[in-house]
Amino acid sequence: MSFETILPQVLEPFRGVKRVALEEYFTSGHRTCQGCESALVMKLMIKAAGARTIVLGSTGCMYVANTTYYTTPWVVPWMHTQLGSSGSAALGTAAALKALMRKGKMREEPINVIAFCGDGGGADMGLSAISATLTHRDYNCLILLYDNESYANTDIQLSGMTPYGAYTTFSPAGKAKRIMHKRWKKNMAGMMAAGHPECRYVATVCASYAVDMMNKVRKALSIGGPTFIHSLDPCPKGWDYDPMFSHELGELAIQCGIFPLYEVEDGKLSFYGQTKYLVEGRTKRKPVREYLSRQGRFAHFLEEDIEYFQQKTDEMWEKWLIPGVIPFSNA
Amino acid sequence: MKADTLLIPQETEALISGCEAIAQACRLADVDVITGYPIRPYDTVMQAIAKLISNGDFDAEYIIAESEHSQFEIVKHASAVGARVFVGSSGVGWFYAMEALAVTAGLRMPVVAIVGNRALDDPGAFGVEHNDAMAVRDLGWMLTWVDTAQEALDTALMAWRLAEDRRVLLPIAIGMDGSYLTHSQVLVKVPSQEMVEQFLPPYNRGELQLHPDNPITIAPQVNEDWLIEIRKQSDDAMRRAKTIIPDVYADYHRIFGRGDSPFFEEYMMEDAEVALLGQGTIAMPIKVAIRKLRAEGQKVGLIRLKWLRPFPTAELQAALSNVKAVGVIDRDYSFGSPFHSGVLATELRSALYSLDKRPPVVGFIAGLGGREVTAENVIEMSNITTQVAASGKSDTETHWIGVRG
Contacts of B221 in chain A (CB under 8 A): 63-64, 67-69
- Is there a contact between B73 and A129 if contact means CB atoms under 8 Å apart? yes
**CATH code of residue A208:** 3.40.50.970
Contacts of B173 (CB under 8 A, 6+ apart): B113, B114, B115, B133, B136, B141, B142, B143, B144
Query: Are residues B222 and A74, on separate chains, in Cβ contact within 8 Å?
Result: no
Q: Do A96 and B220 touch (CB under 8 A)?
A: no
Query: How high is the pLDDT of residue A196?
Result: 98
The predicted pLDDT at position B3 comes to: 45
Q: Report yes or no on A212 lying in a domain.
A: yes
Asked if A99 reaches chain B (Cβ–Cβ under 8 Å), the answer is: yes
Within 8 A of B67 by CB-CB distance, chain A residues are 128-129
Could you tell me which chain A residue has the CA closest to the CA of B224? A69
pLDDT of residue B8: 52
**Residue B225: closest CA among chain A residues belongs to which residue?**
A69
Whether A95 is covered by a domain: the verdict is yes
Domains of chain B: 3-256 (3.40.50.970), 264-400 (3.40.50.920)
Distance from CA of A168 to the nearest CA of B (A): 25
ipTM: 0.97
Neighbour tally for B6: CB within 10 Å = 8
Query: Is there a contact between B215 and A87 if contact means CB atoms under 8 Å apart?
Result: no
pLDDT tens for each residue of chain A, 331 residues long: 567 778 899 999 999 999 999 999 999 988 999 999 999 999 999 999 999 999 999 999 999 988 988 889 999 999 999 999 999 999 999 999 999 999 999 999 999 999 999 999 999 999 999 999 999 999 999 999 999 999 999 999 999 999 999 999 999 999 999 999 999 999 999 999 999 999 999 999 999 999 999 999 999 999 999 999 999 999 999 999 999 999 999 999 999 999 999 999 999 999 999 999 999 999 999 999 999 999 999 999 999 999 999 999 999 999 999 999 999 998 7
pLDDT in tens, B41-93: 999 999 999 999 999 999 999 999 999 999 999 999 999 999 999 999 999 99
Domain count, chain A: 1
- Residue range of the domain that includes A62: 17-318
Using alpha carbons, list the distances in angstroms from residue A80 to A27, A56, A91, B105, B168. Answer: 17, 6, 14, 14, 22
pLDDT, average across residues B127-138: 98
Hey, which residues 203-262 in chain A have their CB within 8 Å of chain B? none
Rounded to an integer, what distance in angstroms lies between the CA atom of residue B93 and that of residue B39?
A: 7
- Interface size, chain A vs chain B, as Cβ–Cβ contacts under 8 Å: 141
Distance from CA of A130 to the nearest CA of B (A): 10
Residue A42 lies in a domain: yes
Q: How many CB atoms lie within 10 A of CB B336?
A: 6
Q: How far apart (Å, rounded) are the C-alpha atoms in residues A320 and A307?
A: 19
User: Would A32 be classed as within a structural domain?
Assistant: yes
Nearest to B65, CA basis, from B47, B91, B87, B90? B87
Q: Is the pLDDT of residue B126 over 90?
A: yes
Answer whether B211 touches A (CB < 8 Å). yes
Residue A269 contacts B, CB cutoff 8 Å: no
A206, part of any domain: yes
Q: Which residues of chain B lie closer than 8 angstroms to A50, CB-CB?
A: none
Distances in Å between the Cα of A133 and the Cα atoms of A85, A95, A128 are 11, 11, 9
A11 in a domain, yes or no?
A: no
